[in-house]
Structure 1
Amino acid sequence: MNNLVKKHYDKDDIERQFINKDILLWKEEVDCINAEIVFFKQLLKNKKNNDIYSKIIEKLETKEKENNILLANLIFYIRKTDGLKECEDIECETYYLNDHILFKNNIESFLFQYKKLKRLAYLKINEQNNLT
Protein backbone atom coordinates (compact mmCIF):
# COMPACT_ATOMS: atom_id res chain seq x y z
CA MET A 1 0.00 0.00 0.00
CA ASN A 2 2.02 2.92 -1.24
CA ASN A 3 -0.87 5.36 -0.72
CA LEU A 4 -0.59 5.34 3.04
CA VAL A 5 -0.09 8.66 4.78
CA LYS A 6 3.62 9.13 5.43
CA LYS A 7 5.02 10.90 8.48
CA HIS A 8 6.58 13.61 6.34
CA TYR A 9 3.30 14.50 4.60
CA ASP A 10 1.87 17.82 5.56
CA LYS A 11 -1.85 18.64 5.75
CA ASP A 12 -1.94 19.81 2.13
CA ASP A 13 -0.32 16.60 0.84
CA ILE A 14 -2.85 14.52 2.76
CA GLU A 15 -5.80 16.51 1.42
CA ARG A 16 -4.54 16.17 -2.17
CA GLN A 17 -3.97 12.46 -1.64
CA PHE A 18 -7.58 11.93 -0.53
CA ILE A 19 -8.94 14.10 -3.34
CA ASN A 20 -6.89 12.17 -5.91
CA LYS A 21 -8.09 8.87 -4.47
CA ASP A 22 -11.72 10.01 -4.76
CA ILE A 23 -11.15 11.10 -8.36
CA LEU A 24 -9.61 7.76 -9.36
CA LEU A 25 -12.50 5.90 -7.76
CA TRP A 26 -15.11 8.10 -9.46
CA LYS A 27 -13.44 7.75 -12.85
CA GLU A 28 -13.50 3.97 -12.52
CA GLU A 29 -17.15 3.99 -11.40
CA VAL A 30 -18.26 6.21 -14.29
CA ASP A 31 -16.38 4.04 -16.81
CA CYS A 32 -17.93 0.87 -15.37
CA ILE A 33 -21.40 2.39 -15.48
CA ASN A 34 -21.03 3.02 -19.21
CA ALA A 35 -20.09 -0.62 -19.77
CA GLU A 36 -22.90 -1.89 -17.53
CA ILE A 37 -25.53 0.22 -19.24
CA VAL A 38 -24.50 -1.06 -22.67
CA PHE A 39 -24.64 -4.61 -21.30
CA PHE A 40 -28.04 -4.18 -19.65
CA LYS A 41 -29.61 -2.53 -22.70
CA GLN A 42 -28.35 -5.28 -25.01
CA LEU A 43 -29.46 -8.00 -22.60
CA LEU A 44 -32.93 -6.57 -22.14
CA LYS A 45 -33.46 -5.84 -25.83
CA ASN A 46 -32.61 -9.47 -26.68
CA LYS A 47 -35.04 -10.95 -24.16
CA LYS A 48 -38.34 -12.43 -25.22
CA ASN A 49 -41.22 -10.09 -24.48
CA ASN A 50 -38.85 -7.15 -24.34
CA ASP A 51 -41.91 -4.88 -23.97
CA ILE A 52 -41.78 -5.80 -20.29
CA TYR A 53 -38.36 -4.18 -20.11
CA SER A 54 -39.07 -1.06 -22.17
CA LYS A 55 -39.42 1.24 -19.15
CA ILE A 56 -36.14 0.02 -17.69
CA ILE A 57 -34.44 0.44 -21.07
CA GLU A 58 -35.73 4.04 -21.22
CA LYS A 59 -34.41 4.71 -17.72
CA LEU A 60 -31.05 3.17 -18.67
CA GLU A 61 -30.84 5.39 -21.73
CA THR A 62 -31.56 8.45 -19.60
CA LYS A 63 -28.98 7.36 -17.06
CA GLU A 64 -26.48 6.79 -19.87
CA LYS A 65 -26.89 10.41 -20.99
CA GLU A 66 -26.54 11.61 -17.40
CA ASN A 67 -23.44 9.47 -16.98
CA ASN A 68 -21.85 10.97 -20.09
CA ILE A 69 -22.54 14.46 -18.73
CA LEU A 70 -21.10 13.42 -15.39
CA LEU A 71 -17.98 12.09 -17.12
CA ALA A 72 -17.50 15.43 -18.90
CA ASN A 73 -17.98 17.24 -15.57
CA LEU A 74 -15.50 14.90 -13.91
CA ILE A 75 -12.88 15.60 -16.56
CA PHE A 76 -13.44 19.33 -16.08
CA TYR A 77 -13.22 18.88 -12.31
CA ILE A 78 -9.94 16.93 -12.60
CA ARG A 79 -8.41 19.80 -14.58
CA LYS A 80 -9.78 22.29 -12.09
CA THR A 81 -8.18 20.54 -9.11
CA ASP A 82 -4.75 21.20 -10.58
CA GLY A 83 -5.19 24.69 -9.16
CA LEU A 84 -5.01 23.25 -5.65
CA LYS A 85 -1.27 22.74 -6.14
CA GLU A 86 -0.85 26.49 -6.52
CA CYS A 87 -2.69 27.44 -3.33
CA GLU A 88 -0.68 29.45 -0.88
CA ASP A 89 -3.33 30.44 1.62
CA ILE A 90 -6.17 28.89 3.57
CA GLU A 91 -8.82 30.75 1.58
CA CYS A 92 -7.66 29.14 -1.64
CA GLU A 93 -7.51 25.67 -0.07
CA THR A 94 -10.95 26.15 1.45
CA TYR A 95 -12.35 27.00 -1.98
CA TYR A 96 -11.03 23.73 -3.45
CA LEU A 97 -12.08 21.64 -0.47
CA ASN A 98 -15.61 23.07 -0.54
CA ASP A 99 -15.72 22.48 -4.29
CA HIS A 100 -14.62 18.89 -3.70
CA ILE A 101 -17.35 18.34 -1.12
CA LEU A 102 -20.00 19.68 -3.51
CA PHE A 103 -18.76 17.53 -6.38
CA LYS A 104 -18.53 14.51 -4.10
CA ASN A 105 -22.13 14.97 -2.94
CA ASN A 106 -23.29 15.31 -6.54
CA ILE A 107 -21.47 12.27 -7.87
CA GLU A 108 -22.36 10.08 -4.90
CA SER A 109 -26.02 10.98 -5.33
CA PHE A 110 -25.78 9.96 -8.99
CA LEU A 111 -24.06 6.68 -8.08
CA PHE A 112 -26.74 5.93 -5.49
CA GLN A 113 -29.52 6.55 -8.03
CA TYR A 114 -27.76 4.38 -10.60
CA LYS A 115 -27.41 1.53 -8.12
CA LYS A 116 -31.15 1.73 -7.45
CA LEU A 117 -31.82 1.47 -11.19
CA LYS A 118 -29.41 -1.44 -11.52
CA ARG A 119 -31.12 -3.22 -8.64
CA LEU A 120 -34.48 -2.67 -10.37
CA ALA A 121 -33.11 -4.19 -13.58
CA TYR A 122 -31.79 -7.22 -11.69
CA LEU A 123 -35.11 -7.71 -9.91
CA LYS A 124 -37.12 -7.40 -13.15
CA ILE A 125 -34.86 -9.89 -14.96
CA ASN A 126 -35.04 -12.31 -12.05
CA GLU A 127 -38.81 -11.91 -11.80
CA GLN A 128 -39.25 -12.71 -15.48
CA ASN A 129 -36.85 -15.65 -15.30
CA ASN A 130 -38.86 -17.12 -12.44
CA LEU A 131 -42.07 -16.83 -14.48
CA THR A 132 -40.71 -18.88 -17.36
Structure 2
Amino acid sequence: MNLLNTNIFKHDTEVDKSHKLNTKELSNWLMQLRFTKEELTSLIKLCSNSLNSNHVNDEEILLEFEKMNQENNHLLSILHKYMSIREHIAECEDTQCDTTYLNEHKIHKKNYLQHMDRYIKLKDQFYVDVNKQLNLDNND
Protein backbone atom coordinates (compact mmCIF):
# COMPACT_ATOMS: atom_id res chain seq x y z
CA MET A 1 0.00 0.00 0.00
CA ASN A 2 1.28 3.45 -0.91
CA LEU A 3 0.67 5.82 2.01
CA LEU A 4 1.16 8.84 -0.21
CA ASN A 5 -1.97 7.80 -2.10
CA THR A 6 -4.70 7.88 0.52
CA ASN A 7 -7.51 7.60 -2.00
CA ILE A 8 -9.75 4.68 -1.18
CA PHE A 9 -10.58 2.34 -4.02
CA LYS A 10 -13.14 -0.44 -4.40
CA HIS A 11 -10.43 -3.08 -4.53
CA ASP A 12 -8.84 -1.94 -1.22
CA THR A 13 -9.13 -4.33 1.68
CA GLU A 14 -10.68 -3.17 4.94
CA VAL A 15 -7.21 -3.06 6.47
CA ASP A 16 -5.89 -0.92 3.60
CA LYS A 17 -8.85 1.42 4.03
CA SER A 18 -8.11 1.69 7.75
CA HIS A 19 -4.45 2.46 7.11
CA LYS A 20 -5.34 5.13 4.55
CA LEU A 21 -7.90 6.75 6.84
CA ASN A 22 -5.40 6.67 9.72
CA THR A 23 -2.80 8.35 7.52
CA LYS A 24 -5.24 11.12 6.63
CA GLU A 25 -6.15 11.48 10.29
CA LEU A 26 -2.49 11.71 11.30
CA SER A 27 -1.90 14.40 8.68
CA ASN A 28 -4.79 16.38 10.13
CA TRP A 29 -3.37 16.01 13.65
CA LEU A 30 -0.01 17.33 12.50
CA MET A 31 -1.64 20.28 10.79
CA GLN A 32 -3.68 21.07 13.92
CA LEU A 33 -0.64 20.79 16.18
CA ARG A 34 1.31 23.19 13.94
CA PHE A 35 -1.57 25.65 14.16
CA THR A 36 -1.69 25.16 17.94
CA LYS A 37 2.04 25.88 18.10
CA GLU A 38 1.52 29.19 16.28
CA GLU A 39 -1.42 30.06 18.49
CA LEU A 40 0.53 29.24 21.66
CA THR A 41 3.38 31.46 20.49
CA SER A 42 0.92 34.33 20.13
CA LEU A 43 -0.72 33.65 23.49
CA ILE A 44 2.67 33.51 25.22
CA LYS A 45 3.64 36.86 23.68
CA LEU A 46 0.29 38.32 24.70
CA CYS A 47 0.70 37.13 28.29
CA SER A 48 4.30 38.31 28.43
CA ASN A 49 3.27 41.78 27.29
CA SER A 50 0.42 41.76 29.74
CA LEU A 51 2.82 40.95 32.59
CA ASN A 52 4.61 44.17 31.82
CA SER A 53 1.29 45.91 32.44
CA ASN A 54 1.10 44.42 35.95
CA HIS A 55 -1.87 42.12 35.55
CA VAL A 56 -1.66 39.78 38.50
CA ASN A 57 -2.93 36.44 37.10
CA ASP A 58 -0.93 36.54 33.90
CA GLU A 59 2.24 34.94 35.23
CA GLU A 60 0.46 31.73 36.15
CA ILE A 61 -1.27 31.39 32.80
CA LEU A 62 1.96 32.29 31.01
CA LEU A 63 3.68 29.37 32.72
CA GLU A 64 0.79 27.08 31.76
CA PHE A 65 0.99 28.19 28.12
CA GLU A 66 4.76 27.65 28.09
CA LYS A 67 4.31 24.16 29.53
CA MET A 68 1.59 23.42 26.98
CA ASN A 69 3.88 24.67 24.23
CA GLN A 70 6.57 22.20 25.32
CA GLU A 71 4.03 19.38 25.38
CA ASN A 72 2.75 20.41 21.96
CA ASN A 73 6.28 20.40 20.51
CA HIS A 74 6.95 17.01 22.06
CA LEU A 75 3.78 15.53 20.61
CA LEU A 76 4.55 17.05 17.21
CA SER A 77 7.95 15.37 17.28
CA ILE A 78 6.47 12.02 18.28
CA LEU A 79 3.83 12.16 15.55
CA HIS A 80 6.37 13.15 12.88
CA LYS A 81 8.43 10.09 13.83
CA TYR A 82 5.28 7.99 13.80
CA MET A 83 4.43 9.25 10.29
CA SER A 84 7.84 8.20 9.02
CA ILE A 85 7.47 4.75 10.64
CA ARG A 86 4.11 4.30 8.93
CA GLU A 87 5.95 4.09 5.60
CA HIS A 88 6.76 0.50 6.55
CA ILE A 89 3.08 -0.52 6.57
CA ALA A 90 3.46 -1.61 2.95
CA GLU A 91 5.90 -4.28 4.15
CA CYS A 92 3.28 -5.93 6.38
CA GLU A 93 2.67 -9.47 5.25
CA ASP A 94 0.45 -10.73 8.04
CA THR A 95 -2.46 -9.70 10.20
CA GLN A 96 -0.30 -9.33 13.30
CA CYS A 97 1.79 -6.63 11.62
CA ASP A 98 -1.30 -4.72 10.49
CA THR A 99 -2.84 -5.04 13.95
CA THR A 100 0.30 -3.63 15.53
CA TYR A 101 0.07 -0.52 13.34
CA LEU A 102 -3.66 -0.15 13.98
CA ASN A 103 -3.17 -0.46 17.74
CA GLU A 104 -0.29 2.02 17.71
CA HIS A 105 -2.53 4.48 15.89
CA LYS A 106 -5.17 4.14 18.61
CA ILE A 107 -2.58 5.00 21.26
CA HIS A 108 -1.41 8.09 19.34
CA LYS A 109 -5.02 9.12 18.78
CA LYS A 110 -5.74 8.92 22.50
CA ASN A 111 -2.65 11.01 23.30
CA TYR A 112 -3.50 13.58 20.66
CA LEU A 113 -7.11 13.94 21.83
CA GLN A 114 -6.08 14.26 25.47
CA HIS A 115 -3.52 16.92 24.57
CA MET A 116 -6.03 18.92 22.55
CA ASP A 117 -8.61 18.64 25.31
CA ARG A 118 -6.12 20.04 27.86
CA TYR A 119 -5.15 22.81 25.46
CA ILE A 120 -8.74 23.83 24.76
CA LYS A 121 -9.54 23.91 28.48
CA LEU A 122 -6.47 26.05 29.18
CA LYS A 123 -7.31 28.44 26.38
CA ASP A 124 -10.95 28.66 27.48
CA GLN A 125 -9.86 29.48 31.03
CA PHE A 126 -7.56 32.18 29.69
CA TYR A 127 -10.42 33.81 27.80
CA VAL A 128 -12.68 33.63 30.85
CA ASP A 129 -9.96 35.35 32.89
CA VAL A 130 -9.40 38.00 30.24
CA ASN A 131 -13.13 38.65 30.04
CA LYS A 132 -13.29 39.05 33.84
CA GLN A 133 -10.36 41.47 33.78
CA LEU A 134 -11.93 43.49 30.99
CA ASN A 135 -15.25 43.66 32.82
CA LEU A 136 -13.52 44.74 36.03
CA ASP A 137 -11.59 47.40 34.15
CA ASN A 138 -14.78 48.66 32.52
CA ASN A 139 -16.54 48.94 35.86
CA ASP A 140 -13.94 51.33 37.28
Q: Which runs of 5+ in 1 are unaligned?
A: none
Q: Scaled by the length of structure 2, what TM-score is found?
A: 0.86
Structure 1 residues 109-131: Cα deviation after superposition (integer angstroms, max 9, x where no partner): 11111111111111111111111
- Once residues 49 and 8 of structure 2 are traced to their aligned partners in structure 1, the CA distance between those partners, rounded to angstroms, is 49
- Once residues 90 and 8 of structure 2 are traced to their aligned partners in structure 1, the CA distance between those partners, rounded to angstroms, is 18
3-state DSSP class of the match of 2:57?
A: helix
How many pairs are equivalent? 130
- Once residues 111 and 7 of structure 1 are traced to their aligned partners in structure 2, the CA distance between those partners, rounded to angstroms, is 34
Counterpart contact for 1:44–1:57, Cα < 8 Å: yes
Shift, 1:4, TM fit: 6.8
Which residue number corresponds to residue 34 of structure 1? 37
Which residue number corresponds to residue 115 of structure 1? 120
Structure 2 counterpart of 1:44, from 33, 43, 47: 47
Which residue number corresponds to residue 13 of structure 1? 16
Which residue number corresponds to residue 91 of structure 1? 96
Greater radius of gyration (CA): 2
Provide runs of 4+ in structure 1 moved above 4 Å: none
Q: Scaled by the length of structure 1, what TM-score is found?
A: 0.90
Structure 2 counterpart of 1:63, from 53, 65, 68: 68
- Once residues 93 and 8 of structure 1 are traced to their aligned partners in structure 2, the CA distance between those partners, rounded to angstroms, is 18
3-state DSSP class of the match of 1:119?
A: helix
Which residue number corresponds to residue 22 of structure 1? 25
- Once residues 50 and 76 of structure 1 are traced to their aligned partners in structure 2, the CA distance between those partners, rounded to angstroms, is 40
Matched letter for residue 90 of structure 2: K
Q: Which runs of 5+ in 2 are unaligned?
A: 1-5
3-state DSSP class of the match of 2:123?
A: helix
Q: CA RMSD in A?
A: 1.5
- Once residues 82 and 5 of structure 1 are traced to their aligned partners in structure 2, the CA distance between those partners, rounded to angstroms, is 17
